[in-house]
Structure 1
Amino acid sequence: MQRNATTRHPILLVHGLFGFDRIGRFELFHDVKQALRDAGAQVFVPQLSATHDNEVRGQQLLTQIQRVLQGTGATRVNLIGHSQGALASRYAAALAPDQVASVTSVSGPNHGSELADSLRKALIPGRLAEHVAQDLATHFAHFLSLLSGQSALPQSAVAALNALTTEGVGLFNRKYPQGLPSVWGGQGAEQVNGVHYYSWSGTLQDDLIASLDPVQNLCRALSGHFVADQGQNDGFVGRFSSHLGNVIRSDYPLNHLDSLRRTNGFRQLSPDPIDLYTEHATRLQAAGL
């Protein structure tokens, strides 16, 4: 039976690092957007810089929120941010709480990522390796932006990396602490300045079928950079680093990219990650959001 998830306010799906709306026929949030629209929700995917810091991307998001409000006649929006998109969403909510009804962090590095810490240490500032990595990543981001029709957006891979380290997010959190837990691994305030805060995320699981998935293998390889969240991460973000507001669950059997997609072929995810978005839309609906 089709779930009714007609929320009071439009939903904006906010992409993270190297994200985009559409390239050709491929849409990053295709399954999520289609499922939410089928359930009755108004859904938009704002375009942000594929690589930049949280505040630059957050400011871009604020501009697009205003466009959605003007175009729909709505008074507020629900933000669902994947990965770094959660930080841009938090920034927008902190600066314009009258325009944001809720922020939902999906696999968001709300306390930074140990993977980013390892990459930052490997790239010594001012050395050739950093310049090469910066150029390659930034040119790739420009290429993605060109393909997705957003070539005018600024890109900075090093700014993005610095913004995702535990130190970088720590500085961000001092300015925008809304919804953060007061103790490590706890829950944060569910409502701050009229904005409702939610989060969910996953952790890597060991099983034979998953080991045949190249994305799972990539996440498994990257998980070796985690120390504090060893064995409790999705390959990119630690379990407890993802906590924000009302923590729905932070140990779904999903890697970092699983929370964006419905896998095809031999590997079936349970729960279906797309169902998590429609379930959440009904949660927002029940809260009058």
Structure 2
Amino acid sequence: MNSKIKVGLFGLILGVTSTTGFAKAGLQEVTSNFVISDYAKTKYPIVFNHGMFGFSRLGVSTFGLDYFYQVLPDLARNGAKVFASQVSPLESTEVRGEQLLQQVDEVLALTGSKKVNLIGHSHGGPTIRYIEIVAPEKVASLTAVAGTMKGSKVADDIINNNGANALLKIVGEYIVAPLTTILEGNPGLPNSLDRSLASISEKGSAEFNAKHPTAAIPTDCGNGEKITSNGVYHYSWTGTAQLTNVLDVVDVAISQLAPLSYKNKDNDGLVNRCNTHLGQVIRDNYNQTHLDEVNQILGLKALFAPDPVSLYRQQANRLKLDGL
């Protein structure tokens, strides 16, 4: 597959090969010269949004790592018009949301479309919901993948543990997050661990949802409304695994946090299963960890677990069949 990435209108090109370009604004469009089907060809373009400590791409296409590993090129080969957004690795939902809103506007300008389909992983779930809150007319659908729709107790516990909070601030806010923004070509992005943790905590999420209520988020562990009064469609899925591949040492390490916080394994290692529900719950017990859900790291997963790339392809087809 010979894929290429087109930069946005307002971006400053930082590096270009025959297949890749990066924009200061962070928006990337992934296309393919070899479209094999229209299975994923949705009416509206699809915009992906990464989670906490996330990125669009580290490096370049010839030697780099996409957050949604192999997902966007596969969708492009199957007819979808797809974009990867780039927001702060560590920031509040509101700050990340405003960054994403600028890129949604750019997608609309580039494509001439009136709306977008938004897909967000982890903190990307509340981040894409922010767009629905401030500009519902620009949103056709929201899909939350392990979204922290009701937060993660892991964040509450870190906030309440001075030692863990201080250590994560040093490693996360002052080393990992700035290095991430440099590697993805956008070092000017702001980062705040405190605002990030507050946003994805159960306490902060409850406050956000009380301020911006939606029938798409259920009060129990069931389904929310698929189509809300503003006409926006809502979907979600998540996993409930903590160990799927012993070679995936990073994933194994971080996927032990939620079991410690919740004292159970009804989670994907970082987010409680019920807290991820938004609209139509496609499935909430995949044999996937929090990183498996975006096909990280480098596609390592359980031997007989579902292919994460195929799940996104199926979701694009679901959006297509729903007229989105």
Q: TM-score, normalised by structure 2?
A: 0.81
Residues 216, 227 of structure 2: 8 Å contact kept: no
1:191 aligns to what SS in structure 2? coil
Equivalent position of 2:315 in the other structure: 280
Residues 90, 178 of structure 1: 8 Å contact kept: no
Change (3 A) 1:156 1:96: same
The letter for the 1-side match of 2:237 is W
Is 1:32 matched with 2:83?
no
Equivalent position of 1:53 in the other structure: 92
Is 1:86 matched with 2:125?
yes
Residues 50, 122 of structure 2: 8 Å contact kept: yes
Change (3 A) 1:212 1:135: closer
Equivalent position of 1:143 in the other structure: 179
Change (3 A) 1:149 1:81: same
1:21 counterpart (40, 56, 59)? 56
Change (3 A) 1:70 1:264: closer
2:310 aligns to what SS in structure 1? helix
Equivalent position of 2:262 in the other structure: 227
**Higher mean displacement: 255-264 or 87-96:** 255-264
Could you report, residue by residue, the CA deviation over 1:131-155 in whole angstroms, capped at 9, with x for unpaired residues?
Answer: 5542432222122111111111111
The letter for the 2-side match of 1:204 is A
Question: Which protein is richer in helix relative to its size?
Answer: 1
The letter for the 2-side match of 1:274 is V
Residues 44, 113 of structure 2: 8 Å contact kept: yes
Equivalent position of 2:235 in the other structure: 198
The letter for the 2-side match of 1:29 is F
Change (3 A) 1:269 1:33: farther
Equivalent position of 1:43 in the other structure: 82
Change (3 A) 1:21 1:133: same
Change (3 A) 1:154 1:37: same
Could you report, residue by residue, the CA deviation over 1:62-109 in whole angstroms, capped at 9, with x for unpaired residues?
Answer: 111001100111110000001000110001111111101000000111
How far does residue 56 in structure 1 lie from its aligned partner after superposition?
0.7
2:179 aligns to what SS in structure 1? helix
How far does residue 215 in structure 1 lie from its aligned partner after superposition?
4.0
Equivalent position of 2:295 in the other structure: 261
Change (3 A) 1:266 1:142: closer
Equivalent position of 2:210 in the other structure: 174
**Higher mean displacement: 101-110 or 265-274:** 265-274
Change (3 A) 1:183 1:10: same
Is 1:106 matched with 2:145?
yes
Whole-angstrom CA distance in 2 between matches of 1:143 and 1:220: 23
For CA contacts below 8 A with separation 6 or more, give which structure has more relative contact order: 1
Change (3 A) 1:269 1:156: farther
**Higher mean displacement: 271-280 or 256-265:** 256-265
**Higher mean displacement: 170-179 or 270-279:** 170-179
**Higher mean displacement: 93-102 or 182-191:** 182-191
**Higher mean displacement: 98-107 or 110-119:** 110-119
1:218 counterpart (253, 275, 279)? 253
Is 1:187 matched with 2:223?
yes
Change (3 A) 1:195 1:150: same
CA RMSD of aligned residues (A): 2.1
Alignment: residue pair count: 282
Percent of pairs with identical residues: 38
Equivalent position of 1:120 in the other structure: 159
Could you report, residue by residue, the CA deviation over 1:231-283 in whole angstroms, capped at 9, with x for unpaired residues?
Answer: 20000000000001011111011000001016557843521111100000000
Q: TM-score, normalised by structure 1?
A: 0.91
Whole-angstrom CA distance in 2 between matches of 1:147 and 1:216: 21
Equivalent position of 1:95 in the other structure: 134
Whole-angstrom CA distance in 2 between matches of 1:17 and 1:189: 26
Equivalent position of 2:191 in the other structure: 155
2:70 aligns to what SS in structure 1? helix
2:282 aligns to what SS in structure 1? strand
How far does residue 178 in structure 1 lie from its aligned partner after superposition?
2.3
Whole-angstrom CA distance in 1 between matches of 2:153 and 2:261: 6
2:281 aligns to what SS in structure 1? strand
Residues 6, 41 of structure 1: 8 Å contact kept: yes
Runs of 5+ in structure 1 lacking a partner? none
1:118 aligns to what SS in structure 2? helix
Runs of 4+ in 1 over 4 A off after TM superposition: 129-132, 262-267
Whole-angstrom CA distance in 2 between matches of 1:18 and 1:266: 20
